[in-house]
Amino acid sequence: MQADLTDRVLTSRAAGGPRSHGVWRLHVVASPDPKWRGAILKMTKDGPFADGAQIGRVPDAPAALRIDDSTLSRRHAVFTKDTDELLRVTDLGSSNGTFFGGERLQQALVGHGSVLRLGANVLVLERDMGARSEHGEPSADIPGRSERARQLRGALEDAAHDSLPVLLLGETGTGKEHAAHELHVRSGRKGKLVRLNATAIPESLFEAELFGHVAGAFTGALAARPGRVREAQHGALVLDEIGDLPLHLQAKLLRLLEERTVRAVGGVKDEPIDVRFCASTNADLAARVQDGRFRRDLLARFHTHVVALPPLRERRMDLFHFADALLPLRNSAGAPVAWPTVLHEETVEALLLYDWPDNLRELAGTLVHLRRHIGEQPVPRTVLSSTILRQVGVRPAVEETARLGAVPRDAVDPVEAPDAAALRQALREERGVLENVARRYGRHRKQVYRWLEQAGIDEAELQRYREGV
């Protein structure tokens, strides 16, 4: 069964459907060879990364990527085009192996977002559709050199040059606050960037917090306050978690956006404002409109500029650009040090394979943990959390294993095997992508292969699921 499943396909949710055009780019995330470390290689007819390109210490093909790394074989692996959406990677009998998704391969079909390890080199493939040109160099707020990073910077650049409201959408921790700051910087507005979290202010005080109040307007209002809107005059106001704003307060916000005037609670006159409004949410606002929890007319005010922030799992090639921006490292001389250079290649690989459900927030916490181990250079994979190790298919170390003897299987991975019907249903829903099935159950793909054997699911049946039959 294992031999029958040698050719495997990784489809990426980042691809957003069929990717029939564009060019391949190879991101060299980690490498012992400083010539290639951090390089991005575009697949061309006559470059080192081309159809039929060999990778190795002394490759002998016309197209060859020669890397000075003692862990590579002379002729290590070869990349060939299979379809517009897939490349075929073939190991050439290397000593240390070629790994795809953390598992050693002989040959595999790989696609957009695939993570490969050859010797001590960790690579990420990108199918670049060339949707936008570059909008300036990566910044601390919007790092990364992938197509998704360029698209995001482009969308913020487009929105920066008028005063219409902007809506930032994205899962929790995707960096909506960083995008708001980037938008404000690009806009060139002279006032401050002011934030107000819709869920952090009691309903009874929201109007006073937003519009300000005069002295004596309500019990406890001993002195007048300008409110967040007037604090943001000639600048920008970011309304975080706008999807959780109660309906009656949504009506007041809509009037503010339409009239561009503000009256303090207890005040008697309206004051004109020059404020750029930016809202953010991880909620599905269209669904909330349908169930009556969000005003359709308020959502319409934000339709001109809607910027979606992709999760980290859809832009793996940018992960360490985020790491270098979130928690910069420096050597004893004060020079910047890139995160991949202090980590073992298996640690780099594991971090790239992890899905980061809490995105940048989770990454920031992981980096703080890893920084404590930098003296153990290169930082080993074993220091990663059990959550990360389980999801990427690496069993965490269990304390006192040697003294207590063998640890029962359930002590490190309690997920029970699904029955054959449930496994077939999972394969159908995941269109035969075994990596996604493994993630669903929190197991490594090797375990899924064993389940397939036990359930009598052969390669022909698996192919039918891939084809949606």
> Distance between CA 345 and CA 115 in Å, rounded?
12
Q: How many CB atoms lie within 10 A of CB 188?
A: 8
> For residue 108, what are the contacts with CB-CB under 8 A and spacing of at least 6?
6, 7, 8, 10, 88, 89, 100
CA angle 101, 104, 108 (to 5 degrees): 70
Q: pTM to 2 decimals?
A: 0.79
Which pair of tokens denotes residue 324? 């270098």
Reading the chain (469 residues) residue by residue, the pLDDT tens digits are: 333 323 333 222 233 334 446 899 999 999 999 999 999 999 998 889 999 999 999 999 888 999 999 999 999 999 999 988 899 999 999 999 999 999 999 999 999 999 999 999 999 999 988 765 556 689 999 999 999 999 999 999 999 999 999 999 999 999 999 999 999 999 999 999 999 998 888 887 888 888 887 765 666 666 778 889 999 999 999 999 999 999 999 999 999 999 999 988 777 688 899 999 999 999 999 999 999 999 999 999 999 999 999 999 999 999 999 999 999 999 989 999 999 999 999 999 999 999 999 999 999 999 999 999 998 779 999 999 999 998 997 655 433 233 233 333 333 343 467 888 889 988 888 878 777 787 777 776 777 878 888 888 887 888 788 777 6
User: 445-455 vs 434-441: helix axis angle to the nearest 10?
Assistant: 100
> For residue 306, what are the contacts with CB-CB under 8 A and spacing of at least 6?
166, 167, 169
Which pair of tokens denotes residue 219? 């019990």
> Distance between CA 315 and CA 323 in Å, rounded?
13
Return the SS3 of 310: coil
**99 within 8 A of 93, measured Cβ to Cβ:** no
Return the SS3 of 343: strand
CA distances from residue 448 to 357, 420, 436 in whole angstroms, order as listed: 22, 12, 10
> Distance between CA 100 and CA 353 in Å, rounded?
10
Q: How many CB atoms lie within 10 A of CB 172?
A: 14
Name the nearest CA neighbour of 56 among 88, 95, 24, 25.
95
pLDDT of 404 reads 30
pLDDT of 437 reads 82
Tell me the sheet residues that pair with 262.
Answer: 271
> Distance between CA 49 and CA 69 in Å, rounded?
17
Q: What's the one-letter identity of residue 423?
A: L
pLDDT of 147 reads 92
Which pair of tokens denotes residue 392? 């990427």
Which pair of tokens denotes residue 6? 């040698």
Q: How many CB atoms lie within 10 A of CB 305?
A: 18
CA distances from residue 33 to 39, 47, 67, 120 in whole angstroms, order as listed: 11, 18, 6, 10
> Distance between CA 431 and CA 434 in Å, rounded?
9
- Please classify residue 244 by burial: count the beta carbons closer than 10 Å to its beta carbon, then call 0-12 exposed, 13-18 middle and 19+ buried: middle
pLDDT of 285 reads 95
Name the nearest CA neighbour of 42 among 50, 31, 34.
50
Query: Any idea of the CA torsion for 142, 260, 231, 152, to the nearest 10 degrees?
Result: 0
pLDDT of 399 reads 34
**244 within 8 A of 283, measured Cβ to Cβ:** yes
Which pair of tokens denotes residue 367? 């980096």
**163 within 8 A of 146, measured Cβ to Cβ:** no
The 3-state DSSP composition of the chain as helix, strand, coil percent (nearest 5) reads 35, 20, 45
Return the SS3 of 98: strand
What is the distance in angstroms between the CA of the first residue and the CA of the last residue of the chain?
Answer: 21
> For residue 15, what are the contacts with CB-CB under 8 A and spacing of at least 6?
85, 111, 112, 113, 127
